[in-house]
């Protein structure tokens, strides 16, 4: 091993040591669990809220008030549309997808769901009853 390589290795070791000390000093929201270690199991129970969640602001995509783990969305089928499409919502007694979901990006009205609204969970998300890690002070009014 030549001198410059030895010096480089020493430098690397010193950097690792320093970062290990820094990591121990920092308190993260997930505790001291390493990224590849197993932390506490995340809270999984989805909230079912009759009547839906209130909206934080006018154009907010409403939160999903029911579990969605049984509905998949892929190239061939969209489980959400079994209840929320114009053809199915009455029978399913579910709210119809928003009117805005039928306009393309240029504001042209389409006779079918706009492709940019196909992946529902891009904008709509369910909620769990997990205790928030940080307080939310957002005020939508």
Residues numbered 108-127 forming contacts with ligand HEC, rule: CB under 6 A: 113, 117-124
92 binds ligand HEC (CB under 6 A): yes
66 binds ligand HEC (CB under 6 A): yes
For 102, other C-beta atoms within 10 Å of its C-beta total 16
Q: What span, in angstroms and rounded, lies between the C-alpha atoms of 97 and 123? A: 12
C-beta closer to ligand HEC: residue 20 or 108: 108
Site map for ligand HEC, 36-55, x if CB under 6 A?
--------------xxx---
From candidates 47, 65, 102, 103, binder to ligand HEC by CB under 6 A? 65
Sign of CA dihedral 10, 11, 16, 20: positive
| Least distance from ligand HEC to the Cβ atom of residue 103, Å | 9
| Count of positions on this chain that bind ligand HEC (CB under 6 A) | 35
93 binds ligand HEC (CB under 6 A): yes
**Which region holds residue 31: left if phi is over 0, alpha if psi is between -120 and 50, else beta?**
left
C-beta closer to ligand HEC: residue 31 or 107: 107
86 binds ligand HEC (CB under 6 A): no
Sign of CA dihedral 111, 78, 68, 61: negative
Give the footprint of ligand HEC on this chain (CB under 6 A): 50-52, 59, 61-62, 64-66, 68, 71, 78-84, 92-95, 97-98, 100-101, 113, 117-124
């Amino acid at each position: 091993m030549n001198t410059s390589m030895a010096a480089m290795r020493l430098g690397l070791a010193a950097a690792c040591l320093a970062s290990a000390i820094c990591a121990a000093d920092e308190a993260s929201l997930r505790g001291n669990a390493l990224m590849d270690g197993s932390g506490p199991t995340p809270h999984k129970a989805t909230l079912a809220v009759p009547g839906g969640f209130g909206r934080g602001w006018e154009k907010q995509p409403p939160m999903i008030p029911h579990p969605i783990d049984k509905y998949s969305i892929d190239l061939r089928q969209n489980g959400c549309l079994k209840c929320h499409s114009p053809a199915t919502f009455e029978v399913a007694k579910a709210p119809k997808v928003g009117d805005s979901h039928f306009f393309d990006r240029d504001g042209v009205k389409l006779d079918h769901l706009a492709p940019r609204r196909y992946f529902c969970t891009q904008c709509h998300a369910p909620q769990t009853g997990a205790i928030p890690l940080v307080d939310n002070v957002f005020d939508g009014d």
